[in-house]
Amino acid sequence: MDDMDRRILHELGQDARTSLAHLAHVSGLAASSVKRRIARLEELGVIKGYTVRLDHHALGLGLQALIGIFAATGTTREQLTDALTGQEEIVRAWTTAGNADALALIRARDTDHLEQIILRLQRTPGIAHTRTQIFLSELLNRGD
Amino acid sequence: MDDMDRRILHELGQDARTSLAHLAHVSGLAASSVKRRIARLEELGVIKGYTVRLDHHALGLGLQALIGIFAATGTTREQLTDALTGQEEIVRAWTTAGNADALALIRARDTDHLEQIILRLQRTPGIAHTRTQIFLSELLNRGD
DNA sequence: AATGAAAACTAATCAGC
DNA sequence: GCTGATTAGTTTTCATT
């Protein structure tokens, strides 16, 4: 991991579909050298993949919320992961050192959809209760 | 926006660097048709861009936290956006209907770095105080 | 590790359906 | 709005430094 790698990663962060020719130009390396570096970063797992950045509002999933998950006593990390992975509306989830045991970031169509998701979570074995915080608008999104 | 568009977006979500030939194969369309659809989705703003998914732990930014921002009275949305955009460690930020006025998702190297970020935010004009919640681990990450 | 050149593949364009 | 053929551009490989 040197400055060249960081530069390549930064460019890919801006546009993951850019050409090796462009990456070669901005880094000053040859295209084949850039390719080797990217292949190494992929092998090392530093690059986990490439994804598209979507306008979820345009796709009808404009509502974002953070749901605090309070696990039932005895629930394992694996059970919690499975319970959350089962809900396709959950985009990201973390265990926390705070109030709730976990926080789940979700995307919903509207408040009716959000309510469905919350009820589904509350009915999920291993989840004792939830606490939902609705996001009004996105101030900043710097990708991954 | 039909099922074909959704299929293409789903595939790009899995691997944004996949070829038109592969997208044509999975959708059953001709490569040129796939290209036209992607171009239209880009023009409409449904596709905002393409980015790389990184292993931030491997890059030395393994600590994630959510910082609740309590704005000073009279602070505008724009001032808050500017204040948060100025901190490069902030990955995402939202205004909320909850306790804090905004929530900022940050990535830090370690707790020392996190403390620096919090102190910087607390010194920022327009921010009255903050409340930090540290994430212990990531249970789920479904990209964007 | 990086380079440059050649070969293989992929994207972009466009006339026709 | 889709197709398939053509051209332009990009990725991949490899011998060399």
Name the β-bridge partners of A139: none
User: pTM for the complete prediction?
Assistant: 0.94
Q: Do domains B3-43 and B63-134 have the same CATH topology?
A: no
Distance from CA of A57 to the nearest CA of B (A): 9
- Top CATH class, A3-43: mainly alpha
Longest dimension (CA), chain A: 57
Nearest to A13 among B51, B85, B144 (CB): B51
For chain B, the domains span: 3-43, 63-134
The CATH code of the domain at A63-134 is 3.30.70.920
Strand D atom within 7 Å of A35 CB: yes
Neighbours of B40 (CB within 10 A): 13
* CA A112/CA A27 separation, integer angstroms: 49
* CA A131/CA B6 separation, integer angstroms: 31
Q: Give me the sign of the Cα torsion angle A76, A81, A86, A92.
A: positive
CA angle B96, B101, B102 (to 5 degrees): 65
| pLDDT tens, residue order, chain B (144 aa) | 899 999 999 999 999 999 999 999 999 999 999 999 999 999 999 999 999 999 999 999 999 999 999 999 999 999 999 999 999 999 999 999 978 999 999 999 999 999 999 999 999 999 999 999 999 999 999 988
